Amino acid sequence: MARNRFTFVTAALAGAVGLGLASPALADISDIVLRIEATNEMGTAVYEGHLSDGTFYDGGEYIWESRTPIMMLNQQGQVIATFNNARVRCVEDPVVQLNFSVAAGSLATTFTITSPLLSFAALDPATGRATAGVTVTDTNGDGATLAPDTQPGLYTSRYNGAVPGGTLFADLLGAPVTAAAFDSESASESFPGGGAFTPIAGPVTDMSARYRFSLTANDEASGTSSYEIIPGPSAIALLGIGGLLAGRRRRH
């Protein structure tokens, strides 16, 4: 039977449990781990992936993936778009990763691709980082465009509330990505950049992410992303002091 939660202790805080600085809690993943909505003048189609269809692994890792193309149909049974494949990965640390590949049908289409909400023991202070990349491919010789739709960037990451709600962490990929005839073009962006983390005003208790974009007719788009939150420097400093004290107690 699939679980909807797993024991959560961040790697940096794990050693502090015995010192009273932190205690084990449970991390929760929302039942819908992937939601893809495709909309154009023909209507709307929705695909949802559920928690029970993924797998929990040792070490606090959960993976859901689909590798078989799925036609997304409107209420009249007409093809709005094709969902080619996707992968969702959640880690207790906590990390939310979202990868996808989709294709528009005969009309320009707006896609909304949403990660699960990952909830966890409060981190205060906290730091975070996010990175996202996309590729657009023209398949019919008239060029292809992948552009943000309603949200400031192709990708957004949020905390303390499920996207599109919650508090903004970072909007990435704010400019359209275009490809020439029968060609592909890619773009990527990270925040704060260089593999670094940036402070987040705590406490932080959950996280989620979303791609939302318009895609030209008959063209393909894919994306990869990773969103990570860890304890802030002051919490790690406390752990360092606690480790010294624990070492002294063991020597006496």
* Contact assessment for residue 210 and residue 218, using Cβ atoms and an 8 Å cutoff: no
Question: What pLDDT score does 93 carry?
Answer: 85
Share of the chain above pLDDT 90, in %: 79
Reported pTM: 0.85
CB atoms under 10 Å from CB of 7, counted, come to 10
pLDDT in tens, 12-48: 343 333 333 333 334 799 999 999 999 999 999 999 9
Using CA atoms, how far apart are residues 54 and 181, in angstroms rounded to an integer?
Answer: 37
pLDDT in tens, 122-161: 999 999 999 999 999 999 999 999 999 999 999 999 999 9
Strands 109-114 and 32-40: antiparallel
* Contact assessment for residue 115 and residue 49, using Cβ atoms and an 8 Å cutoff: no
Question: What pLDDT score does 232 carry?
Answer: 87
Closest by alpha carbon to 37, among 111, 133, 115, 135? 111
CB atoms under 10 Å from CB of 106, counted, come to 14
pLDDT in tens, 68-94: 999 999 999 999 999 999 999 999 989
241 phi and psi angles, rounded to 5 deg: -65, -45
